[in-house]
Amino acid sequence: MPCPEDLTMCGILGGLNTDFDTRSTDRLRHRGPDQACFVTEEVPGYGTLALGQTRLNIVDRRDIDLPVRVAGNTILFNGEIYNHPELRAELTALGWTFETKTDTEVALVAYLQWGPECLERFNGMFALAIWDGERFFCARDRMGQKPFFYRYVGDTFEFASEIKAFSDLEFVSQDVFDLFEFCFNEHTLYRDIHALPPGSYLVYDLSRGTCHTRSYWDIEHQVGHRIIDEDQAVDSFVELLEDAVRLRLRADVPVTLFLSGGLDSALIARLAGVEEAFTCQFAEFARTIDEETYARDLADRLGMALNLVRPTRDEFLHDLASMAYHLEMPTGSFSVFPLYRLASACHEAGYKVVLSGEGSDELFAGYVRNELLLGDQQTIEGPKQRHYSSMLQRYHGSDLDRFCRMASRSGLVGASLMKMFLAEYWSERKSMLENVSYIESRIFLQPLLQMADRMCMAHSVEARCPFLDYRLVEFAFSLDDSLRFRDGTGKWIVHRAAEKVLPPGSLVLRRTVKHGLPTPVNLWMQGRHSFDRRYWNTLMTAECIKSLLVRPEQAVSKREAPVPVMAFDGPTRTIESGSILRSRMQ
């Protein structure tokens, strides 16, 4: 549903006393090839301010003055605020006037009107930085769909959408990466480079010489207000998803869809009414993991053109270096390659926006491993069982122990170490399902969103995820457990909604086993089908490091000694200048 306002996807960078220059901006041009700017100015007594942005025009595709400024304040913005027309109307009623039609300007005016509380009004995916002459206010969307990295060393503060924009990069090992095979929250694999956690904002104050972060949103635990009525739940779910899709169709360019052959993308296809979709099918999996049959059946029923992407081994070898360059940090997933190929196909077909089904499995307990975790736990009884108690302990114990054993790829030792990281996210007040869905949505979803963002933006394609509308996320955690997981399987409410919305007789309604987005990397690289990530993670780590560190044009800077930082009351993470965040294990 087109609207006359402007939405943009961008790459941003900036800070004080940085090494950024036009080459840094050029490294982000894939995030916004339509327009770019890089400006510097002196801040008396503090040094040089740098501001850079690249722009991908999605709606009202005319060029605008960059960076966007209002009343002496400047904003750099990456992402989309889908409800910005409604916010614009509200701000206009409060007396504000606007020079552009952009959601970027709306975001800045909203901050000037409401301060950090403006973030709670935004429905979107975004990373932003606002400069008011004395401090930077930086923020990231609730679920972390858009990236934001920063470095604070000495009198230097710098931030960027991607790590490749920074100079003087140095790889450092991370215990969290070794355990999880991905980085989450503030962790990265590069010295002094931190990620702003999802649902958080950062304030860098020049006069105080401080940098602190604070969480502004989290998924609340619902006590005594659970939705238990099945019909009400299904109706509300469809209504929320339909509105989430409607908002994400706001564009003056054609919108397409990643259609996987599963329920999530099928629901989006039905509600969005797009004319064309893209499906991935590996020839090696034609007889075992058949996405094409289900996708084509639904496309025919909806009158939608279907494009089959069939990645090959030669393409994988050709794309490997480019994938690593854009990915920057491995995510432990083979799906990076099919996503890269799908985004490439969308770009070649002229698309800038694609809808995707990320988030549904995490929110509604859709992973197969949940069937084991959420099933009835039997006790160890009798001498026969006790004889094998050490072996059976892999399957028994506390809920958190069981989850970590299931998630660990480093055996029981890895599970016990993983528990140290995840204990703060696990609550005895919550059910097993709530805890599992919370950790999957807030932690294990992060590398998948990183992968989707980087692989799509590598081709200047914006991925929008209706299931990650914060209203739908909060709704999922307001449901009684039985509406998410029932009779040994998850996504009960998604199945009921699909039966209500999809065309009767659709093959996907009868599909009992749905795989993710598997890739025959092991077959290509090792000549076997076995599912072993160790070689893959080693390969991708080496490729990512090489792609970022081997840059002949990279400038070298000298970092000064750390300076003290201010503690901040509330749920705050205080970052010490020049330090590497240490894990709890050290």
Tens digits of residue pLDDT in 154-166 = 999 999 999 999 9
Indicate the pLDDT class of residue 6, thresholds 50, 70 and 90.
Answer: low
Question: pLDDT at residue 542 above 60?
Answer: yes
Q: What is the pLDDT of residues 347-367, one digit of tens each?
A: 999 999 999 999 999 999 999
What domain range is 110 assigned to? Answer: 8-218+556-574
Residue 550 lies in a domain: no
Question: pLDDT at residue 189 above 60?
Answer: yes
454 and 388 in a common domain: no
Question: pLDDT at residue 558 above 80?
Answer: no
Q: What is the pLDDT of residues 243-281, one digit of tens each?
A: 999 999 998 889 999 999 999 999 999 999 999 999 999
> Domain end: 390, 419, 439, which one?
439
451 and 435 in a common domain: no
Total count of domains within the chain: 3
400 and 286 in a common domain: no
178 and 61 in a common domain: yes
85 and 191 in a common domain: yes
Q: What is the pLDDT of residues 298-308, one digit of tens each?
A: 999 999 999 99
> Domain end: 405, 439, 473, which one?
439
**pLDDT of the residue at 224:** 63
Residue 340 lies in a domain: yes
Cis omega (within 30 of 0) for bond into 383: no
Look over the chain and give the mean of its residue pLDDT values, rounded to a whole number.
Answer: 87
391 and 262 in a common domain: no
293 and 167 in a common domain: no
* pTM for this entry: 0.90
Residue 354 lies in a domain: yes
Indicate the pLDDT class of residue 390, thresholds 50, 70 and 90.
Answer: low
Indicate which CATH number applies to the domain containing 525. 3.40.50.620
**pLDDT of the residue at 165:** 96
- DSSP, collapsed to helix, strand or coil, labels residue 330 as coil
Calculate mean pLDDT across residues 227-238. 97
381 and 331 in a common domain: no
457 and 426 in a common domain: no
Long-range contacts of 523-527 (CB under 8 A, 24+ apart): 523/284, 524/313, 524/316
Q: What is the pLDDT of residues 23-42, one digit of tens each?
A: 999 999 999 888 899 999 99
**pLDDT of the residue at 560:** 32
- Report for 127-131, 485-489, 572-576: range of highest mean pLDDT: 127-131
Residue 223 lies in a domain: no
Question: pLDDT at residue 528 above 90?
Answer: no
Question: pLDDT at residue 569 above 60?
Answer: no
Residue 434 lies in a domain: yes
- Residues 84-111 as b/e (b if ≥16 CB within 10 A, e otherwise) read bbebbeebeeeebeeebbbbbbbbbbbb
Question: pLDDT at residue 551 above 70?
Answer: no
Cross-strand pairs, 180: none
Nearest alpha-carbon partner for 182 in 451, 373, 386, 416: 451
**pLDDT of the residue at 574:** 33
Bigger pLDDT: 25 vs 6: 25
Calculate mean pLDDT across residues 55-78. 85
Question: pLDDT at residue 577 above 80?
Answer: no
Q: Please say whether the dihedral angle defined by the alpha carbons of residues 337, 339, 345 and 347, taken in this order, is positive or negative.
A: negative
513 and 403 in a common domain: no
Distance between CA atoms of residues 230 and 451, nearest Å: 35
Indicate which CATH number applies to the domain containing 204. 3.60.20.10
**pLDDT of the residue at 363:** 97
462 and 321 in a common domain: yes
Question: pLDDT at residue 552 above 70?
Answer: no
Residue 72 lies in a domain: yes
Q: Which amino acid, one-letter code, is at 18? A: T
Question: pLDDT at residue 579 above 50?
Answer: no
> Domain end: 422, 439, 456, which one?
439
Bigger pLDDT: 1 vs 477: 477
Helices (H), 328-408: 336-348, 360-363, 369-373, 382-387, 389-392, 399-407
Range in 114-123, 508-517, 546-555 with the lowest mean pLDDT:
546-555
Distance between CA atoms of residues 388 and 103, nearest Å: 61
Question: pLDDT at residue 429 above 60?
Answer: yes
Share of the chain above pLDDT 70, in %: 87
Residue 351 lies in a domain: yes
Number of C-alpha atoms within 13 angstroms, CB side, residue 537? 15
Indicate the pLDDT class of residue 383, thresholds 50, 70 and 90.
Answer: low
Question: pLDDT at residue 137 above 50?
Answer: yes
209 and 265 in a common domain: no
Residue 98 lies in a domain: yes
Calculate mean pLDDT across residues 115-144. 97
Distance between CA atoms of residues 525 and 326, nearest Å: 21
Q: What is the pLDDT of residues 465-519, one digit of tens each?
A: 999 999 999 999 999 999 999 998 999 999 999 999 999 999 999 998 877 778 8
Residues 6+ apart with CB under 8 A from 310: 280, 281, 282, 283
How buried is residue 539: exposed, middle or buried, by Cβ count under 10 Å (0-12/13-18/19+)?
A: middle
